[in-house]
A and B are shown apart, each in its own frame.
Chain A
Amino acid sequence: MKTPGLNNSAFADPALCQGLLHALEQKLDAPLRFMEVCGTHTVAIFRSGLRSLLPKGIEHLSGPGCPVCVTHDREIAACITLAGRDGVRIATFGDLMRVPGPEGKSLKQAKAQGAAIDIVYSPLDALQLAQQHKDEQIVFLGVGFETTAPTVAATIQMAQRKGLPNFSVLSFHKLVPPALEALLADERPTEEGGIDAFLLPGHVSTILGLEPYRFMVERYARPGVIGGFDPADILQSLLLMLEMRKKSVPAIVNQYSRAVSDTGNAHARAILFDVFAPSDALWRGIGLIPASGLVMKDSYAEYDAWKRFSLTLPDVPEVKGCTCGDILKGRRSPGQCPLFGKACTPANPVGPCMVSTEGSCAAYFKYAIGNL
């Protein structure tokens, strides 16, 4: 049998996608500015080459959709402080390793200087580390949105059931709807160049369902489409946005019904909110957003690394010249930032958008040809 080529998913079928692109061109009656708020969407749009094919008049903006990117440098500073303590072993997802803290110092560098840091693929791996290294304190770095947080919560429940004394979680999870709310509260009206519609995150929505996004329609009259990650999903989502605009009935629509149920995953949410409660959180490039983070409830306080190690967020100097805040809000494109590709590159990222491979600036830097 012939070995198939790269990216041959049925939802990336060239003929299907060409048809959808043609329909988009036909139906596009006025410029459409859409924002995605998921790093996987950012990368999917670039990697598939879709961005180079979108009809003129469709403008793609990348919002604050990568949980690693929006981890604040004060949070990274806390991680590095903790990693330096005797008897502590950090367990983390891989892509947090490269995120710069104050003075550009990352966990990768801390590891090279002797800190005990293990890359894990699941919080359950961290639990296993705790059982293997009984003489060490294992701290899992809890980063991620609603997609990841329930698994972390379930791990904390399991640690409590097992009575593991040397396991804890340093939570800086973030929540997507409060960030959207902060974005919209600060947003210009559509007719003045504001965002027309949102491509909502497929993975996060498997947990949330449609309900948490309704405020976007009710308070801000902005439509949103929960979309999948293959090119045909994204194109169909754009078509749905155009149709809603034409009928003047903004709504929250679920394009990704093969993965997302309209009501989300109630069981996962129950676990999530058994362990965590919303709290104010710092977002890199944006600042403080009310009720946009997750803090451990008192009933699980013994597994809260912030408390166990009496950690606070260190004060760090402000990064000068970084315009990530504007980029995350869709007011500036990466190419319009004076630091882009000069002082700020994937090798030496300054702001959140360049930090992770799923950040919008990193995607522009990596994939865009010329002025695309």
Chain B
Amino acid sequence: MDEPRVLLDYGSGGKAAQRLITDLFARCFANPILAAMDDAALLQGLSGQLAMSTDGYTVDPLEFPGGTIGTLAVHGTVNDVAMLGARPLYLSCAFILEEGLPMALLERIVESMGEAARSAGVHIVTGDTKVVPKGAADKMFIVTTGLGEVLSSPTPSGSRALPGDAILLSGSIGDHGLTVLSRREGLPLAADARSDSAALHHMVAALVREVGSIHTLRDPTRGGLATTLNEIAAQSGVLCNIQESAIPVRPGIMAGCAVLGLDPLYLANEGKLICVLPKNLADEALAVMRSFPEGQEAVRIGSIQAPGQYGKAGQVVLHTALGGKRLLGMLEGEQLPRIC
């Protein structure tokens, strides 16, 4: 694209908009369904139960170690579809661009998005672009919707965790949340921190096919591990027991959190999943997860219990490294860095 910055013309539906579509989006997302350039994408051969999910991406900064808003918009939606034990196939995407956005930045992000979709094996088949006047949006927002085929029934669900089940976590927590926060605020923390942004559906497919009987799959994104465990406990009417010392956290993330008064248990992850399944299948599931790069640090972090004397339905009890116990609750709102 010749223009150095995005102009309002690019969202007008005229020639400028067409140039943006053919020169950038069609080039980076290249696939036969998108190439038809009709008002809607024609999808053929889908059968059985379908899983669908939509998500809006507003991350600031747009680029960070380990990913971009574009890779997040692919991985995040692919993962949400996959958490139903489904194979994601198609994505739609809508861009909302702020007038004046550097064209080179847009190109980098769309290219990273195309690359993420290609390596995940999903097609971006339809899309839309709007340009809003300067100040009406913050640089760039992306909304993606994903569609996939369910691999087996019943599908994993937050409401299917049963007493006696094991709780598995696919790797370290807090990487994405602290990376983005420290970059956004220009904090000289955790210099080697990288977002864990990754597509998890290949690992999910292997879990569903090779292990089976997966009761719950969830990706602990916003709100972090603690929030997602609380959601599972509440939806299933059970108690989650979690071993603190089993939860992997990289030293740089732990140190950065200590400085800011943040708790990694509540920081967002973009390439991790929680898997709940009968405990006799836990070792087999861990072996499958560890055979994928995105799951090589998979660990068992706890178990599901029936509510009773040790806690109420919907509660998460953390067994601390010290041997003590405490509640692991949900936060009221976002975590705010503390004063001292």
Binding site for B on A (CB under 8 A): 2-8, 12, 14, 17-18, 40, 46-53, 67-68, 93-98, 119, 121, 143-145, 147-148, 203, 231, 346-347, 356-358, 365-370
Contact = CB atoms under 8 A, between A and B. Distances in A.
Contact of B340 (A3, A6, A67): A67
B244 interface: yes
B323 A18 contact: yes
Interface string B215-250: 000000000000000000000000000001111111
Interface string B185-209: 1010000000000000000000000
Contacts of B250: 3
Interface in B58-79: none
A12 B323 CA distance: 11
9 contacts: A5-B247, A6-B244, A6-B321, A47-B320, A49-B320, A52-B326, A93-B339, A95-B338, A143-B339
A53 B320 CA distance: 11
Interface of B: 171-172, 185, 187, 244-251, 254, 260-261, 264-265, 297, 311, 315, 317-327, 329, 332-333, 336-340
Contacts of B311: 369-370
The SS class assigned to the B binding surface is loop
A53 B324 contact: yes
Contact of A8 (B318, B321, B324): B321
A196 B208 CA distance: 59
Nearest to A367: B326
Contacts of A7: 244-245, 254, 320-321
Contacts of A356: 338
A148 B254 CA distance: 23
A5 B311 CA distance: 24
A369 B317 CA distance: 8
Nearest to B254: A6
A53 B325 CA distance: 8
A95 B324 contact: no
Instruction: Find the residue from A6, A95, A356, A366 having the highest chain B CB count within 10 A.
Output: A6
A51 B322 CA distance: 11
Contacts of A5: 244-249, 321
B322 to A, nearest CB: 5
Contacts of B185: 121
B338 to A, nearest CB: 5
Contact of B319 (A49, A144, A231): A49
A18 B322 CA distance: 8
A53 B323 CA distance: 8
A114 B196 CA distance: 35
Given A6-B245, A6-B247, A121-B185, A46 B337 contact: no
A68 B261 CA distance: 14
B248 A93 contact: no
A300 B128 CA distance: 57
B323 A4 contact: no
Contacts of A50: 322, 324
Nearest to A54: B324
A94 B337 contact: yes
A7 B244 CA distance: 8
Contacts of B265: 6
Contact of B325 (A2, A366, A369): A369
Given A12-B321, A47-B326, A98-B333, A4 B251 contact: yes
A366 B329 CA distance: 6
B249 A49 contact: no
B136 to A, nearest CB: 16
Contacts of B336: 94-95, 97-98, 119
A10 to B, nearest CB: 12
Instruction: Find the residue from A5, A51, A93, A144 having the highest chain B CB count within 10 A.
Output: A5
The 8 closest A-B pairs by CB, nearest first: A49-B324, A49-B320, A94-B336, A3-B248, A5-B245, A93-B339, A52-B324, A367-B326
Contacts of B251: 4
B254 A49 contact: no
B294 to A, nearest CB: 14
Contact of B322 (A14, A93, A95, A346): A14
A369 B323 contact: no
Contacts of B187: 121
A69 B128 CA distance: 48
Instruction: Find the residue from A40, A47, A368 having the highest chain B CB count within 10 A.
Output: A47
